Amino acid sequence: MHGDSHSPVGRPAVVLLSGGLDSATTLAIARAEGFQCHCLSLDYGQRHHAELQAAAAIAEALGAREHRVLRLDLAGFGGSALTDQTIPVPVAGVDAGIPVTYVPARNTIMLALALAWAEVLRSRDIFVGVNAVDFSGYPDCRPEYIAAFERMANLATKAAVEGATLRIHAPLIHLAKAEIVRRGTELGVNFALTVSCYQADESGRACGVCDSCRLRRAGFLAAGLVDPTVYRPG
Amino acid sequence: MHGDSHSPVGRPAVVLLSGGLDSATTLAIARAEGFQCHCLSLDYGQRHHAELQAAAAIAEALGAREHRVLRLDLAGFGGSALTDQTIPVPVAGVDAGIPVTYVPARNTIMLALALAWAEVLRSRDIFVGVNAVDFSGYPDCRPEYIAAFERMANLATKAAVEGATLRIHAPLIHLAKAEIVRRGTELGVNFALTVSCYQADESGRACGVCDSCRLRRAGFLAAGLVDPTVYRPG
């Protein structure tokens, strides 16, 4: 579909890769558009490392040029069930409002790091798999937020001062989860490699009951596709 | 001037503290305005740690409520003389344009981290010591950049969604270096604790010839105040 998977041709792009279904599909889209993909994952003190291992496997499978993991211990700030061991992950269903799994300013931090790397790589393109439809109510997944980040980024850097325009690509932002699953499948994403669960175990097996598992399962169902997720017993 | 220096009264603010003259003065201003100051420094793989030690001493001396250092290794991205050991720090004088000491997206990264901490602390105020007058030509020190970050931040967080307005305070942005030195002196900042040099030695002694040393020295001269900087021989 996009030639030799390690081809050096194409403009460089920084792709934020979490190890989940959405960012894997985003990487596949960036590759299909011909970008040379430099993938960035953040080790922000999350409960488990299965998703970082998943990110590495996805980057390799989808022909990324490189994959880097930056360590930043956000657990010290607390305030989120995803980084603070004292706050339980909710498992009773997706509620209205912003859940405790929200990590404060996570997308802002990740996009800021992507911006730094993009500047060093002389890249004008950052890809992020945010989604404003079947999402968990996070404010930093909304189109108006992404647009505001892009405006800020275009004032922030040496490249911007020198006339380059940086673009934040959020190709999933208006897609329903089922559409994301379909698009990823078309582009050859192996979703068995991805981990969406907020409390996956060491081998990446999903709980099946957190918000992220529920949204993912519903997405495969609505798309009429087989869900390759491995759920743990119990 | 601002009561007991460790008083718990006052609204919480996050203050970005580099260990330099500007951020020390910014902290003194935030304290004078009655804020409870939570200081944040970033250990981003800079050439030396003298400035982080300076930051800790300044936070203590100016009655900050706490001081945290986050480790984030930006050296892996390369591209700056301040984090990349293979790029020499220029010492021949302040040139026009953006120098190699520019760290890609540094202020965006630091403000993003401050935003995360502010949200956890339920703080609506972030202080940053950027300056657009006697600065080294960094794009992320300009007023339009700070305004764009503030707009983005007000779309990014749970607090913003719930109606709180976050403000990025940049009280030095329009001041000349001499005015910053005067203002800091009025507020009792002990500038002997601060380290501005891009290549200070382990004990914080300055080179006297990098851009930052030149701007600092000129600031004390123009203010007609004694420069307490300790320069190393040579």
The answer to whether position B111 is within a domain reads yes
pTM of this prediction?
A: 0.86
Do the Cβ atoms of A77 and B117 come within 8 Å?
Answer: yes
The answer to whether position B198 is within a domain reads yes
Do the Cβ atoms of A108 and B156 come within 8 Å?
Answer: yes
- The bridge status of strand B12-16 relative to strand B125-127 is parallel
The answer to whether position A143 is within a domain reads yes
Q: Which chain B residue shows the shortest CA-CA distance from A138?
A: B158
CB contact at 8 A, A14 and A113: no
Q: Which chain A residue shows the shortest CA-CA distance from B145?
A: A155
- pLDDT, one tens digit per residue, over B181-211 is 999 999 999 999 998 888 888 888 888 888 8
- Binned at pLDDT 50, 70 and 90, residue B16 comes out as very high
- Binned at pLDDT 50, 70 and 90, residue B101 comes out as low
The answer to whether position B19 is within a domain reads yes
Q: Between B152 and A44, where is the model more confident?
A: B152
What's residue A157's pLDDT? 83
Which distant-in-sequence residues (6+ apart) come within 8 Å of B33 by Cβ? none
Is residue B201 classed exposed, middle or buried when 0-12, 13-18 and 19+ CB atoms within 10 A define those classes?
A: middle
Do the Cβ atoms of A108 and B106 come within 8 Å?
Answer: no
List the domain range (segments joined by +) for residue A57: 12-223
The answer to whether position A6 is within a domain reads no
The answer to whether position B188 is within a domain reads yes
Q: CATH number, domain at B177?
A: 3.40.50.620
Q: Which of B41, B18, B83 is nearest to A76 (CA)?
A: B41
Query: How many residue pairs bridge chain A and chain B with CB atoms within 8 Å of each other?
Result: 135
Do the Cβ atoms of A157 and B104 come within 8 Å?
Answer: yes
- The reply to whether ipTM tops 0.95 is no
CB contact at 8 A, B15 and B26: yes
What's residue A133's pLDDT? 78
Look at the block and give the residue holding tokens 């992220």: A212
How many domains is chain A built from?
A: 1
Cα B117 to chain centroid distance, Å, stands at 17
What's residue B120's pLDDT? 86
Do the Cβ atoms of A108 and B112 come within 8 Å?
Answer: yes
Do the Cβ atoms of A104 and B116 come within 8 Å?
Answer: yes
pLDDT over 70 percentage in chain B: 81
What's residue A129's pLDDT? 96
Order of all β-strands in the sheet with A36-43: A66-71, A36-43, A12-16, A125-127, A167-169
What's residue A93's pLDDT? 65
Q: Between B79 and B17, where is the model more confident?
A: B17
Q: Which of B146, B132, B224 is nearest to B176 (CA)?
A: B132
**Nearest-CB residue to B156 (from A120, A140, A156):** A140
Predicted confidence pLDDT, tens digits, chain A (234 residues): 444 444 446 899 999 999 999 999 999 999 999 999 999 998 876 656 788 899 999 999 999 999 998 888 776 676 665 565 565 656 666 655 555 566 788 899 999 999 999 988 889 999 999 988 765 567 888 999 999 999 999 999 877 778 889 999 999 999 999 999 999 999 999 999 998 888 888 888 888 888 888 888 999 999 999 888 888 887
The answer to whether position B137 is within a domain reads yes
The answer to whether position A125 is within a domain reads yes
User: Whole-angstrom Cα distance, residue A37 to residue A47?
Assistant: 27
**Nearest-CB residue to B157 (from A70, A71, A139):** A139
Q: Which residues of A touch B74 (CB under 8 A)?
A: 116
Q: Residues of B85-95 as b/e, b for ≥16 C-beta within 10 angstroms?
A: eeeebbeeebe
Do the Cβ atoms of A155 and B161 come within 8 Å?
Answer: no
Mean pLDDT over B64-89 rounds to 72
What's residue B138's pLDDT? 78
- Binned at pLDDT 50, 70 and 90, residue B40 comes out as very high
**Nearest-CB residue to A152 (from B98, B149, B158):** B149
Distances B146 to A4, A164, B112, B150 between C-alpha atoms, Å: 42, 19, 12, 6
